[in-house]
Chains A and B, each alone.
Chain A
Amino acid sequence: MHRTKIWILVSSFCLGFSCTDQEDEGDNLRAGGATTVFVENSNSFQFPAPNLSPSELELHRLGDQAFEGIFVTAPAIVNGGLGPVFNQASCASCHPKNGRSGFSENPNDLAGLLFRLSIAGQGPHGEPLPVPGFGGQLQTKSIVGKQAESQISYDFKITQEFFPDGEIYELRQAIFRMTNTYMPIPTATLSSARLAPPVFGLGLLEFVPEAVILKNEDIQDVNTDGISGKANWVWDFTESRVRLGRFGWKAGQPDLIQQAAAAYNEDMGVTNPLFRLESSTGQIQDDTLSDDPEIDQELLEQTAFYTRSLAVPASRNQSDPTIQNGKRLFIKIGCEKCHLSNLKTGSSPFQFLANQSIQPYTDLLLHDMGDGLSDGRSDFNATGNEWRTPPLWGIGLTLLVNGHTHFLHDGRARNLQEAILWHGGEAIKSRDAYKNLQKSERNAILKFISSL
């Protein structure tokens, strides 16, 4: 039932004894600064940051329970408020073991795959315009007696291509269709499939100073390296102002509170102090209860704190010669121009996140990834072709933690190599450089990424 996690009582209390909080462990490196844990098993994404104070650890524990909490139909004694339409009933259903959702082969349960919806145009704050009758997200489940907005079916489009050395590879893309919609869906509907990403390390990314992120912007590609990098500017519902977007596949959320609040509302149909209206408001599936908000501010903040205070797993075996060569090649072919290895957090009201040197392998900026990856749908400043550089830390543990290696926004890549080969747009030079490497060199890059 309650699936709380491991409370390894690690802490900076070890300072002055056998280690310091910035010390690496052998050839395993502190990717998350002092929030790093050295664990290589299926729990790797489930540890609290080891530098939490006792009171922060207690808050993290409460947040863990909230993150695992399964919601049910209201009214209920415990966790009421699910739906009426929803995607999943708990945070953990989309982020298994705090990790990456896999591409589900079961169209009746898409796990952590959801679909953002909009029609052409922008709202007053630059936001995508909701689809009449469906809103901004497709809810594919409902409580008993209501109807899900739609079901999803898909076919795979397979393309076969070659490396210059003659090796054949296949790329697979799911072509999704909405079926059994509860009402006709407007033909001009734009949709974007999104697979739930890991949730560790987010607190660190929340406190990378805005100036540090913007310093890497090069919208007009002034340095002519083919890489632009653009910030997304999104609406902060708490402060009622535009802020830098950091979270989500298109950097559509400015901070973890809003990220959590939006997920409660859209993914689970749980109203909260930030989003008080059911996602089904105005639709025939809407409930008639006057129980909103269905969770309070305290629970919302506990959930956000949980994602903020998770430990980052160390990168591993960094002295391995093949991995070192892979890293060199990773840099040489330009991957690191977007997947920045080194960032530093700034000041933070959460001391455990402040001034940490981290290796997330992201610049938190939007990049044109080409037509092949385009969803044809804009999201604030992000065009259909633009996606935020996803962090790579912990990516090599995906198979161990989540039992799959499905990557990219819709899970189309079945392994790391396919993910690289889907790169286009600004990354096309790097992708082609990768393709032109010797197989042993390609493998070295893959081994390096797998060590993160």
Chain B
Amino acid sequence: MFNTLLKFIGLSGLWILVISCTDEPTNPQIDYSDILKTETNEVIILTYNDLNEKASLLSSRINEFSANKTQAHLDLIRQLWRDARKPWEQAEGFLFGPVDLQGIDPSIDSWPVNVIDLDAVLASNDPLTKDYLDGLEGTLKGFHTLEYLLFGINGNKTIQEFTDRQIEYLTACAHSLQGETNKLFTSWINGPYPYGEILKTAGDSSNQVYLSQKSALQELLDGIITIADEVGNGKINDPFVRNNLTLEESRFSANSKQDFADNIRSIQNIYFGSLNTSFNEQSLAGIVKIKDAALHLKTSDQIQLAITSILSIPGTFTEAISANRAAIQNAQDQVRQLQFILESEIKPLFDKL
């Protein structure tokens, strides 16, 4: 499918839009600090706060599971896993800063699950505590290990299949996850160098990380291009084109479509500078709208089209790989079209800031 995209782009005759080799000077008169504040405060930090709160709720309810081992409680914590997953996926459009620099991402979202080692730990007498889980490899903790334990490898795990040891592991794993989400959230707002301040003060003489506001804005833009690429050419492409269900993200929980859509919402949030799909003038979209109002409209529409096309795939993503390939193809095309707009039309605008 990647070749399909290349073919499409080649036929479109738009290659020349992909790169700018201009030596036009940047415009030192424009101050983008309000945009950086909005993106930091209204999107990134709020998303991480939401993630942390939902991970906390998930942990507390899983903590009650051993005393309330009922189908109703299992249904609840499965839903809370999905709820916590949502802001994480909506944060994947800005995978820079502490999530990467502090090695938090592997502890939250490593894949695949190390099933052999997980079974070995469960069979051992090791005390299953948060500290113990914290010391394990990423493939033994985080969202996907929780997912594997909660839903089972085929997504049909029954309440009777949960052992005390598994519940103990689930409890420690959820606690460990929440520790990571808390670390992630606080790293943007607290400490000697909160990353939120680093991003917001880009271009200040004291800022040794982002030497210019342009660099920070390009960071934000590259972040959403990256996730568009990952959804279109990785998350959808790999299980779909290779017809290999083991490559599907969140297959155990059948949450893949939601994951993909939330990834695109991550683009939407950063682009609009808000979490509620409303246009915020102080955002990447604000820059685009001033420079090219038609492009802004096209981008807004394409974001929505990508989300809609993903969510309108019938059934689960797993089922659709064999039963509704045209719908998946359409979703992939829409995501790739969004990526194409971002990198071939919007990126050149930002290169000239």
Contact = CB atoms under 8 A, between A and B. Distances in A.
B101 interface: yes
Contact of A6 (B117, B144, B225): B225
Given A19-B21, A58-B6, A145-B120, 18 more contacts: A1-B235, A2-B234, A4-B233, A6-B222, A7-B343, A8-B347, A9-B9, A40-B215, A54-B6, A65-B238, A70-B139, A72-B115, A77-B112, A89-B137, A109-B103, A141-B137, A399-B208, A402-B101
A8 B343 contact: yes
B96 A42 contact: yes
Given A41-B215, A72-B113, A18 B22 contact: yes
B72 interface: no
B180 interface: no
Interface string B223-262: 0011001100111001000000011010000000000000
A97 interface: yes
Interface string B1-12: 011001001100
Contact of B144 (A1, A42, A50, A73): A1
Contact of A74 (B97, B103, B116, B347): B116
Given A9-B344, A23-B21, A72 B225 contact: no
B229 A4 contact: yes
Contact of B116 (A2, A38, A76, A404): A76
B111 A70 contact: yes
Interface in B207-225: 208-212, 214-216, 218-219, 222, 225
Contacts of A419: none
A182 B85 CA distance: 40
Interface in A76-111: 76-79, 82, 89, 93, 96-97, 108-109, 111
Nearest to B116: A73
Interface in B23-67: 23, 25
A57 B6 contact: yes
A213 interface: no
B41 to A, nearest CB: 20
A349 interface: no
Contacts of B344: 9
B110 interface: yes
A428 interface: no
A65 B234 contact: yes
Contacts, number: 168
Interface residues of A, number: 59
Given A2-B111, A26-B23, A65-B234, A10 B209 contact: no
Interface in A309-345: none
8 contacts: A3-B105, A25-B22, A26-B25, A39-B222, A41-B210, A143-B117, A399-B209, A403-B102
B62 to A, nearest CB: 21
Contacts of B116: 72-76, 143-144
A162 interface: no
A78 B247 contact: yes
Contacts of A39: 218, 222
Contact of B111 (A1, A9, A82, A97): A1
Contact of A76 (B21, B96, B103, B112): B112
B246 A43 contact: no
A19 B16 CA distance: 10
Interface of A: 1-11, 13-14, 17-20, 23-26, 38-43, 50, 54, 57-58, 61, 65, 70, 72-79, 82, 89, 93, 96-97, 108-109, 111, 141, 143-145, 399-400, 402-404
Given A70-B111, A402-B101, A25 B21 contact: yes
A6 B347 CA distance: 12
A10 B19 CA distance: 6
B20 interface: yes
Interface residues of B, number: 68
Contact of B117 (A3, A23, A73, A96): A73
A145 B10 CA distance: 53
Q: Which 6 pairs of residues, A with B, have the shortest CB-CB distance?
A: A19-B21, A403-B101, A1-B111, A72-B114, A13-B15, A41-B219
Contacts of A75: 116
B121 interface: yes
B18 A8 contact: yes
Nearest to B114: A72
Given A1-B144, A6-B225, A11-B18, A41 B230 contact: no
A403 B343 CA distance: 26
Contact of B20 (A7, A18, A143): A18
B130 to A, nearest CB: 15
A400 B210 contact: yes
Contacts of B218: 39-41
Contacts of B6: 9, 54, 57-58
Given A25-B23, A26-B23, A145-B120, A93 B226 contact: no
B164 interface: no
A4 B234 contact: yes
Contacts of B229: 4-7
Contacts of A73: 114, 116-117
Contacts of A61: 2, 233
A403 B98 CA distance: 9
Quick one: which of A14, A23, A109, A404 has the most chain B CB within 10 A? A14
Nearest to A74: B116
Contacts of B9: 9
A14 B249 contact: no
B204 interface: no
A17 B230 CA distance: 30
B301 interface: no
B1 to A, nearest CB: 11
Given A1-B144, A70-B110, A14 B21 contact: yes
Interface in B281-313: none
Given A42-B96, A54-B3, A72-B115, A11 B15 contact: yes
Contact of A50 (B2, B19, B230, B247): B19
A9 B135 CA distance: 40
A385 B117 CA distance: 42
A403 B112 CA distance: 27
Contact of B246 (A65, A70, A77, A93): A77
Contacts of A42: 96-97, 100, 219
Contacts of B23: 24-26
B171 to A, nearest CB: 19
Contacts of B214: 40
Contacts of B113: 72
B87 interface: no
A62 B113 CA distance: 21
A256 B140 CA distance: 31
A58 B22 contact: no
A400 B209 contact: yes
B93 interface: no
A399 B210 CA distance: 9
